[in-house]
Amino acid sequence: MKSDEFIVGVDVGGTKILSVVVNNEFEIVSRCRKKTKGWVKDTNPENKIIQTIEESVEQAGNPKIVGIGIGAPGPVDPKNGIVINTPNLGWENFPIADILSKHFAVPVVLDNDVNLGTYAEWLLGKNKEAKHVVGVFPGTGIGGGLIVNRKIVHGASGGAGEVGHITLQIDGPLCGCGKRGCLEALASRIAITREIAALILRGESTYLTDKVGTDVSKIRSSVIADAIDHGEKKVEDIVRKAAYLTGVAIANLINIMSPELVILGGGLIEALGKIYQEEIQRAVKEHAMPFLRKKVSIEIGKLGDDAVALGAALLCAKKNDKL
């Protein structure tokens, strides 16, 4: 990429669209974020995406845009730029890359959001020489991204990397996906909140009862972190258990994929990174094969909410041979 060339990276989610414009060093020069609950059910949902992109480009001073990258939840067909299916967005076989490419007259690449988050944390992190990378992003769900031989893995369905649905407990609690004992059912923020709700109802967390009462929707990652800082040991135990189980799933990924790099990201990690690091390291020690785990570095992502949009921009640059 030349110094007068810019790329747009877009992160499309169920309740927000984030568009960033990056320069040839992948620094963000402008950012437009729209909270748009319900927009995906519009007749032409692409209009909101186009509007967000246009605003971010305007904010950047209308530079020369040489490509657009876009990240969306759910399985994708990256070759044809089609979102196959997103329960969150309600799209099916939505040819978003083609639509945007016609509108903006530049190349558009598409990939899954978690894949792109992993991609950005890898290539913009200190371990970009790694060839095999696993990204794990615990939050409301638990997403995963896989890189093998420096390429994103999509698998036959376009939806490889369903790390949250690794079975860890065969007769375990029901998961949102309908199966039992998935990592997500045991260790997502919803699973953690479920356990904390019981603490509150039993009167075992004074701090949280004071802070959120019995409104479980208020138990955000930051509130959980505050409770632990205030010495709530039972809350800490719940988080440690979830982090450990996330670590067992990561150990399984290490046994299967043998990566050099595991990247952790997402809201829970940002708020509770130290506990997650400790418990994941413990679980990996107990459940990954020694000759596989000694090759692995486990790192916390640094890009926060920009990771997906930056990954989209990076992938676009790579596909355009501009990286």
Give dist(CA 286, CA 231) in Å, integer: 27
Count of beta carbons in the 10 Å neighbourhood of residue 317: 23
323 makes contact with a copy of itself (CB under 8 A): no
> Considering the rule CB under 8 A, would residue 156 count as an interface residue with a copy of itself?
yes
Instruction: Report the nearest approach of a copy of itself to the CB of residue 239 (Å).
Output: 17
C-beta closer to a copy of itself: residue 227 or 280: 280
**Cα–Cα dist 44/18, whole Å:** 18
Q: Tell me the CA distances in angstroms from 145 to 29, 55, 120, one per residue in order.
A: 26, 29, 11
Q: Is 322 in the site for a copy of itself (CB under 8 A)?
A: no
**Residue corresponding to tokens 């950047």:** 60
Q: Using CB under 8 A, pick the residue from 23, 88, 255, 277 that binds a copy of itself.
A: 255
Beta carbon nearer to a copy of itself, 14 or 176: 176
Using alpha carbons only, how large is the chain's radius of gyration in Å? Answer: 20
* Residue 132 found at the interface with a copy of itself (CB under 8 A): yes
Question: Does 157 contact a copy of itself by CB under 8 A?
Answer: yes
Min CB(248)–a copy of itself separation in Å: 6
3-state secondary structure the chain: CCCCEEEEEEEECCCEEEEEEECCCCCEEEEEEEECCCHHHCCCCHHHHHHHHHHHHHHCCCCEEEEEEEEECCCEECCCCEEEEECCCCEEEECHHHHHHHHHCCCEEEEEHHHHHHHHHHHCCCCCCCCCEEEEEECCCEEEEEEECCEECCCCCCCCCCHHHCECCCCCCECCCCCECEHHHHHCHHHHHHHHHHHHHCCCCHHHHHHHCCCHHHCCHHHHHHHHHCCCHHHHHHHHHHHHHHHHHHHHHHHHHCCCEEEECCHHHHHHHHHHHHHHHHHHHHHCCHHHHCCCEEEECCCHHHHHHHHHHHHHHHHCCCC
Provide, rounded to whole angstroms, the least separation between the CB of residue 182 and a copy of itself: 8
Q: How many residues bind a copy of itself (CB under 8 A)?
A: 52
Which of residues 186 and 200 has its CB atom nearest to a copy of itself in the complex? 186
Is residue 188 at the binding interface for a copy of itself, with CB under 8 A as the rule?
no
Tell me which of 106, 153, 190, 197 binds a copy of itself, using CB under 8 A. 153
CB of 169 to a copy of itself, least distance (A): 8
Residues 35-94, interacting with a copy of itself (CB under 8 A): 75, 85
- What minimum distance in Å lies between the beta carbon of 207 and a copy of itself? 29
**Please, which residue, 95 or 176, has the CB nearer to a copy of itself?**
176
- Would you count residue 179 as binding a copy of itself (CB under 8 A)? yes
Interface pick for a copy of itself out of 23, 24, 167, 277 (rule CB under 8 A): 167
Among 287, 302, 318, 322, binds a copy of itself (CB under 8 A): 287
Is 256 a binding residue for a copy of itself by CB under 8 A? The answer is yes
Work out whether 251 is an interface residue with a copy of itself (CB under 8 A). yes
Question: Which residue among 131, 218, 233, 274 contacts a copy of itself (CB under 8 A)?
Answer: 131
Which residues form the interface with a copy of itself (CB under 8 A)?
A: 75, 85, 130-132, 144, 146, 148-149, 151, 153-163, 165-170, 177-181, 245, 248, 251-253, 255-260, 286-287, 289-292, 294-296
